[in-house]
Amino acid sequence: MPELASHCPATKAADILGDKWTLQILRAMILGAQRYSDFTAAMPRISPSVLSARLKRLCDEGLIVKRGDTGQQALYRLAPAGREAGPIVVMMAEWGLRWAKRNMRTDQIDVGVAMWDLHRTLRTTGLPDGETVFSITLSDLDKHNRWWIVAQGERVDLCDKDPGRSVDVYIHGPLETILAVWMDEANLDDAMRAEEIVMTGERLLVDSAKSWFPVSPVVLARQAAVAA
């Protein structure tokens, strides 16, 4: 006997959006993910079968569309329903920041996901023309504690191996503090004055760090709401 659908729209919405991987896919797409490789980079713990199933479900439900080639070269784009789900994802993140974050320990954070978020939210408009290379050392981690971000125009790449480029800015600090600044729970200037975050390299970039340092979309949404 087929399962009956609930008459309640909220229940139907929860049925579509209530899965953690579905929310993370939408969140990644809000941050610019379009290809299969983008999703696996943003969610390194998701299995290929689960990712494929969730992408198909989102396509079937009309939240995203699949364009181009099949397989890993296909492009995924938000449909109108997916774009309208964006504020819901942001609101859930805002709620999590206020009420659920207190139960999260630093050792529960997936550093790969965190660094993907940071590189996707680097404010490239605050960088000079041409290529800018950042070397990041996470002082509170024993493993996976060296990362590189290479920015050129709007293109920003994340590397967990030395890309062999000349580094413009070295950033040294705990992941916990860097994420606190990203989420506007800590002030970048204060963290740098206290040497909790240490930046060395090209003086212009170090002095203008507040203009390019990554900012969470949750913070940007909050700021837009206050300004409205």
pLDDT digits (tens, 9 = 90+) for 24-66: 999 899 888 999 999 998 888 899 999 999 999 999 999 999 9
Domain with residue 114: its CATH number is: 3.30.1050.10
Do 208 and 172 belong to one domain? Answer: yes
Task: Judge residue 83's burial from the number of C-beta atoms within 10 Å of its C-beta, 0-12 exposed, 13-18 middle, 19 or more buried.
Answer: middle
Do 212 and 126 belong to one domain? Answer: yes
CA–CA gap between residue 23 and residue 105 (Å, rounded): 21
Do 215 and 113 belong to one domain? Answer: yes
The chain-wide mean pLDDT, for the chain, equals 88
69, 103, 137 - which closes a domain: 103
| Of 172, 167, 227, residue with least CA distance to 201 | 167
Mean pLDDT for 97-106 is 60
47, 81, 103 - which closes a domain: 103
Do 126 and 210 belong to one domain? Answer: yes
Do 83 and 133 belong to one domain? Answer: no
Do 114 and 45 belong to one domain? Answer: no
Do 149 and 207 belong to one domain? Answer: yes
Neighbours of 194 (CB within 10 A): 12
In the chain, what are the helix, strand and coil shares in percent, each to the nearest 5?
50, 15, 30
Q: What is the DSSP string of 11-57?
A: HHHHHHH-SHHHHHHHHHHHTT--BHHHHHHH-TTS-HHHHHHHHHH
CA–CA gap between residue 101 and residue 129 (Å, rounded): 37
The domain tally of the chain equals 2
Do 95 and 45 belong to one domain? Answer: yes
What are the C-alpha distances in Å from 70 to residues 36, 66, 67, 174? 10, 9, 8, 40
Give the domain range for residue 174: 108-219
What pTM, to 2 d.p., does this model score? 0.78
Lowest mean pLDDT among 2-16, 17-31, 36-50, 95-109: 95-109
